[in-house]
Amino acid sequence: MGDRDDLATLLDEQAAFYRAVAPEYDDHALPFPGGAELARALDAFRPTGSVLELACGPGTWTPQLLRHATDVTAVDASAEMLRIASSRVSSSYATSPHAVSSRPGSSGADSPHGSSPRADSFHGSSPRADSFHGSSPRADSPHGSSPGADSFHGGRAPLRFLQADLFTWRPDRRYDVVFFGFWLSHVPAERFPAFWSLVDDCLQPDGRVCFVDDWHRTDEELIEGEESPIVQRRLTDGTAYRIVKIPHRPAELERQLQRLGWSIQVHPTSGPFYWGSGTRTR
């Protein structure tokens, strides 16, 4: 990639894409098998204790994390995504006697994003949003959320949303688990070590990390060729944005992480997805 300014511009454009795509994010879900394996892997990993979710988006994974965690902090750059995440988490507890309402101004339980995603369902046909409907929130565990507010106790595990740029954000505390879904592939190579240093700073000494992602890129989005990390994504109205999409492969990703001091096993699924979990080496 070019110089520092070019990279900063690209990362701004990437963040702008996700702000703009937020209302239609679920329409772009990857229509491939293997996604349900990610949800099962996350359950098997058991994200217990204090959990930090990076790039939480519209709350694809947040309800599933809340089923295991004692508290969750979910960070994303997009206020639009955080509002949808708030609505999704609230609606996932809507049938609970302890259910809470989204804050005024959030998209509400009747929005298309207010429904609970199922672990085995895939929607849409356009493989552009790098996610699938992978979490399976339970309606019997009350939680609440309020993006923009510092924290919220909706019943059991407290949930706090933070709006922040992960390329500059510093944590204010440490966590037992750091999780990120469909984020690592959007971290450019130049920022890869710094990102893992951030993960390190976020973790307790014996903390664990877990991530899920995919390596899928279509021919039409490879506007700069196969070797480039830059792809073009479009909104439904055709507006185009450049974003980073690194097609990590499990074995090489494991080696890269090992060189940075991590012991992380990365597993492929039956589709273009993969998941990884582990700890620091030392």
Note the residues at the interface with ligand SAM (CB under 6 A).
11, 14-15, 18, 55-57, 60-61, 76-78, 81, 130-131, 165-167, 181-183, 186
Nearer to ligand SAM, 93 or 211 (CB): 211
Nearer to ligand SAM, 176 or 214 (CB): 214
Write down the least CB distance from residue 64 to ligand SAM, Å: 11
Write down the least CB distance from residue 180 to ligand SAM, Å: 7
Between strands 49-54 and 69-76, the pairing is: parallel
CA distances from 196 to 174, 186, 187 (A): 14, 13, 10
Nearer to ligand SAM, 195 or 262 (CB): 195
Nearer to ligand SAM, 14 or 146 (CB): 14
Beta-carbon contacts of residue 119 (< 8 Å; ≥ 6 apart): 35, 36, 39, 40, 133, 134, 135, 136
Helix pair angle (4-21, 79-92), 10° resolution:
40
Nearer to ligand SAM, 134 or 278 (CB): 134
Write down the least CB distance from residue 9 to ligand SAM, Å: 13
Give the DSSP letter string of 200-211: HHHEEEEEEEEE
Nearer to ligand SAM, 167 or 215 (CB): 167
Write down the least CB distance from residue 178 to ligand SAM, Å: 13
The token duo for 12 is 């701004």
Write down the least CB distance from residue 164 to ligand SAM, Å: 6
Write down the least CB distance from residue 52 to ligand SAM, Å: 12
Contact (CB, 8 A) for 91 and 101: no
Contact (CB, 8 A) for 245 and 219: no
Contact (CB, 8 A) for 82 and 62: no
